[in-house]
Chain A
Amino acid sequence: MSGCGLFLRSAAAARLGRALVAFTASRRPLRTSPPSQAFAKELFLGKIEKKEVFPFPEVSQDELNEINQFVGPVEKFFTEEVDSQKIDREGKIPNETLEKLKSLGLFGMQVPEEYGGLGLSNTMYARLGEIISLDCSIAVTLAAHQAIGLKGIILAGSEEQKARYLPKLASGEHVAAFCLTEPASGSDAASIRTRATLSEDKKHYVLNGSKVWITNGGLASVFTVFAKTEVVDSNGSVKDKVTAFIVERDFGGITSGKPEDKLGIRGSNTCEVHFENTRVPVENVLGEVGGGFKVAMNILNSGRFSMGSAVAGMLKKLIEMTAEYACTRKQFNRNLSEFGLIQEKFALMAQKAYVMESMAYLTAGMLDQPGFPDCSIEAAMVKVFSSEAAWQCVSEALQVLGGSGYMRDYPYERILRDSRILLIFEGTNEILRMYIALTGLQHAGRILTARVKQLKQGNVTTIMETVSQRVRDSLGRTVDLGLTGKLGAVHPSMEDSAHKLEQNVHDFSRTVETLLLRFGKTIVEEQLVLKRVANILINLYGMTAVLSRASRSIRVGLQNHDHEVLLANIFCTEAYYQNLFALSQLDKYSPENLDELIKKVSQQVLEKRAYVCAHPLDRTS
């Protein structure tokens, strides 16, 4: 026992060391080093990179103490002083609340300490996100400020730019905003109309154009703006390319429209921002001239993982409130909590919260490892899963309250409205699904190229190999990827779930191979197929995350770890069958696959731009 404890402690120490490295590493400027981790990508090839996800990432005791000291006052502030209902009604965050947020340092959570920020690691940032999300308007305001608004400066800014802007941004004296979206350009960078032209003295860029739906657009004094500039190519031709700029409001020519009236997150400030002959010094180009596209992509990819913990924090609070109601409200002399259909909803909420929390902290832990891991697929999966779970769970919670939930006296309708945006911003879930599937398929496709080529050319040995592999699979060979067993990473109480994961991963890799053989690069056009691939991958990642987390909880003896095991087993079984279904749909000529019919229906509807069917009461005679 003591040996075990020793082992654990030494492991913790090793991780502590790693975390410290990460701490210092995060201060290094962004490099385009080859991604060192690829857990999700390897899943496409049927491999589970155990060392990336087992054991579940931990933080050192010191760090934990530090963050707990910090979490206390923030939580107190949010529960006692922030009046979310008022913020929602008035559509504005009161100034004193903003001041308090600034004094708590929440405007510079990820800004390195030397620039006056808190310099939090991704894990710590996720932890704080749990509390900040108690009010969605504040969470969105803060996220727009630091997850995207000033992130560009941290990721791609030069030392001078960092020294000039970060301290004031970290203190909250200046608020940042991220200006990418335009009326004609959502995710389409080619249609950006805002233009920056170099002045004659070559010292300034003159910026002209309009940006829409800019969060913090009215409050911000520093903008990260993306605009088209003329760039001379290596072969001498002139091309329009996107460039990122740091633009201060004081440069002049910047006007913001009136705040938009939104469905949810009404307290956050969203408006149009117009630039008219704004003169931006050349020193304020972020990254390289013409390199704005990469900057934008990096910023967008880096910020997504935190949604998981934020939503989990909100859900935990929601479960408390709803459970309180369900255990006190009596119908037919019984508490609501005694009805099976109500109980089911709580199980669902707990399960979703558990999964997204596990995914979020697993991803944060991966990101905190040294070497700038590329976890953008994982982050996107966290975002997709958590936003959809949030919408579903909030809706179920509201359902528990019945009619009361629909009333404005209760916070449920506000939370429902607020959570709807989660599926839309930071890349809509549809777009992120494409990203998840295509990035993974690209990786798998590159590695499988040789094999696919041989198969297509009719290489006998490869074909025989493949056929015999498939035959063995169909004969019910059990897959063992080494998650369980004597020295397995997964605790024996979840052995079944681990087998399910292994089985799914194996089948998934086979399906990926078939899909690549079938569609090749034209798979880009098969969005319904890609959606299923993404869904399966999200489930696989969720399964891995809960298995890893629950195993750790058992082994270190956390409180209520048996409950975690329950949740993990439930989720894994559900996800397993969902995956099986999706995989069978991906087969050729699968009877479960209705894509062709679905496409036909939508084509006819869209051709008519209306509902096509005749009215049921119509007659022909």
Chain B
Amino acid sequence: MSWAQAILLARGLSRGWGGICSTALTGAPFSQVTPQAPRGLHCSTAAHQPDSPLVPRPPEPQRGLVKALAPHEELFRQAPDGVRDKASFVQAVQNFTQYNVHKRGHVDFIYLALRKMREYGVERDLAIYNLLLDIFPKEVFRPRNIFHSIFLHYPRQQECGIAVLEQMENHGVMPNKETEFLLTQIFGRKSYPMLKFVRMKLWFTRFKNINPFPVPRDLPQDPVDLARLALRHMEPDLSARVTVYQMPLSKDSTDATDPTEPHIIGIQSPDQQAALAHHDPAHPIFVEGPFSLWLRDKCVYYHILRADLLPPEEREVEEIPEEWNLYYPMQLDLAYGRSSWDDYEFNIDEVEEGPVFAICMAGAHDQATLAKWIQGLQETNPTLARIPVVFRLSASSGELLASSSGLEEPPLTPPEGREEEENNQQRQQQSQS
């Protein structure tokens, strides 16, 4: 018996590794492990398009409306007032289970539901995922003997189960005991969805707090608040002060497309203020930007106020005043310093950069707006009035999209072909966050 178990284990492991490797290599979702897996033997009886891939395909709104609807699409269009929330989603799922006692076509329905989740804003709701898993008939797909477990038993269903878990992973939803219970009931312990579940359990906990600079899960919608968050995110000094130099003209113009009165928010720490006060007015300082910063799925742009590094001969050497400390000597009058065997400093070649005096985020990236920022800075930094400021604004080549769309919600239903990109992108962000 033990050899059988060993084989089983080895087999499972190699499959698992294969899955991981192929994911890593191709960047394709996990559920594509065995695209040519024998299928049809235990296929659900539901009618399905023979060419339909196993990955959840995004709905194809343009074609979908004119051409054939996906099966069960109508269940999601029943909400009379068009409200799309958790309750109506649950209602749709319940309708499916009620009218479909034999769960005919449940795999297709689950794929459909997975695609719809984002529209309903429930993509981060664990209860909904459990609800979807609950659609699977219980006990049917459990392997009954060793050969079942060796060969992919009910592959289409297992892959559907993995797809559910995959989407959970992409949205950072941690499965719970109920998920585990459902999976064991549906697929049994020795199944691929269960393997995926165990891995999620293991790695999610370890990766959840791996980012030392966490970004909140729900970003503020208001560009001013978002800018505040982004500036705080970039500035390491906790005593830095965020100043709103200009509020957007009216609440309606929060899309920041209105060029007349874009928001201007800046941050400056006391140290930066002091450095600016000591800046020699003979040397100009520069406003540079826009530079991009990603916060989860949003890209924001910022500008910096910086100066060039002083040439070494012009730098002031900080000297210790003779009469400084009333209580103890600040330096010893000894001829010798630290011995080499107590010097733990690594020899690092550091590229020194010029000082950054302030950072700002504005709704528009033109010189007029940024000049207002400099004006605002002059109130707290009087020396700034005497220093020539040079604007070195790159044309918006650094931006991925038009400046305005950076602050907009990404389209809810991205066009076909972008889905995978987006998935990858999300995965990257999650591994960062």
Chain A residues with CB under 8 Å of chain B are 180, 187-190, 241-242, 293, 296-297, 300, 427, 431-432, 434-435, 438-439, 441-442, 445-446, 449, 452-453, 456, 516-524, 588, 609, 614, 620-621
Contact = CB atoms under 8 A, between A and B. Distances in A.
Given A242-B323, A432-B327, A621 B174 contact: yes
B325 interface: yes
B335 A522 contact: no
Given A188-B324, A297-B326, A445 B205 contact: no
B332 interface: yes
Interface of B: 174, 176, 201, 204-205, 208-209, 238, 321, 323-339, 341-342
B197 to A, nearest CB: 12
Contacts of B342: 518-519, 588
A527 to B, nearest CB: 11
Contacts of B332: 438, 441-442, 445, 521, 523-524
B343 to A, nearest CB: 9
A189 B324 contact: yes
B39 to A, nearest CB: 34
B269 to A, nearest CB: 13
5 contacts: A189-B325, A442-B329, A456-B339, A520-B339, A621-B204
Given A518-B339, A519-B342, A187 B334 contact: no
A346 to B, nearest CB: 35
Contacts of A190: 321, 323-324
Given A620-B205, A621-B174, A621-B204, A439 B328 contact: yes
A516 B334 contact: yes
Given A524-B331, A621-B201, A519 B338 contact: yes
B323 A241 contact: yes
Given A187-B327, A296-B326, A439-B328, A456 B333 contact: no
Contacts of A521: 331-334, 336-337
Contacts of B176: 621
Top 6 closest A-B pairs, CB basis? Answer: A435-B328, A293-B323, A620-B205, A520-B337, A520-B336, A521-B334
A242 B321 CA distance: 12
B333 A446 contact: yes
Given A189-B323, A300-B326, A439-B328, A621 B336 contact: no
A614 B238 CA distance: 20
A61 B335 CA distance: 50
A439 B329 contact: yes
B336 A449 contact: yes
A524 B325 CA distance: 13
Given A190-B321, A439-B329, A621-B201, 13 more contacts: A187-B326, A188-B324, A189-B323, A242-B323, A445-B334, A449-B335, A520-B336, A521-B333, A524-B329, A524-B330, A524-B332, A620-B208, A621-B174
Contacts of B324: 188-190
A575 B154 CA distance: 77
Contacts of B204: 620-621
B327 A434 contact: yes
Contacts of A449: 334-336
Nearest to A609: B238
Most A CB atoms within 10 A — which of B174, B176, B327? Answer: B327
B331 A187 contact: no
A522 B327 contact: no
A518 B338 contact: yes
B327 A300 contact: yes
A188 B336 contact: no
A522 B205 contact: no
B238 to A, nearest CB: 5
B240 to A, nearest CB: 12
B238 A431 contact: no
A187 B335 CA distance: 27
Contact of A431 (B328, B339, B341): B328
Most A CB atoms within 10 A — which of B324, B329, B336, B341? Answer: B336
A188 B325 contact: yes
Nearest to B238: A609
Contact of A435 (B209, B238, B327): B327
Contact of B334 (A432, A439, A520, A588): A520
Contacts of A621: 174, 176, 201, 204-205
A433 to B, nearest CB: 9
Given A620-B205, A621-B201, A431 B336 contact: no
A180 B176 CA distance: 65
Nearest to A450: B335
A427 B327 contact: yes
Given A189-B324, A242-B323, A620-B208, A520 B338 contact: yes
Contacts of B333: 442, 445-446, 521
A517 B335 CA distance: 11
Contacts of A518: 338-339, 341-342
Nearest to A522: B338
Contacts of A519: 338-339, 342
Contacts of B330: 524
B432 to A, nearest CB: 17
Nearest to B329: A438
A453 B327 contact: no
A466 B334 CA distance: 21
A41 to B, nearest CB: 14
B232 to A, nearest CB: 13
A523 B328 CA distance: 13
B296 to A, nearest CB: 19
A523 B209 CA distance: 39
A189 B334 contact: no
A609 B333 CA distance: 35
Contacts of B174: 620-621
Contacts of A297: 326
Nearest to A191: B324
Contacts of B338: 518-520, 522
A456 B342 CA distance: 13
B328 A434 contact: yes
Most A CB atoms within 10 A — which of B205, B330, B333, B342? Answer: B342
A588 B330 CA distance: 24
A431 B337 contact: no
Nearest to B201: A621
Given A445-B334, A452-B336, A189 B326 contact: yes
Contacts of B325: 187-189
Given A189-B326, A241-B323, A620 B209 contact: yes
A520 B331 CA distance: 11
A300 B326 CA distance: 9
A442 B328 contact: no
A188 B328 CA distance: 10
A187 to B, nearest CB: 5
Nearest to B177: A621
Contacts of A188: 324-326
Nearest to B333: A442
A617 B141 CA distance: 38
B42 to A, nearest CB: 33
Most B CB atoms within 10 A — which of A453, A516, A521? Answer: A521
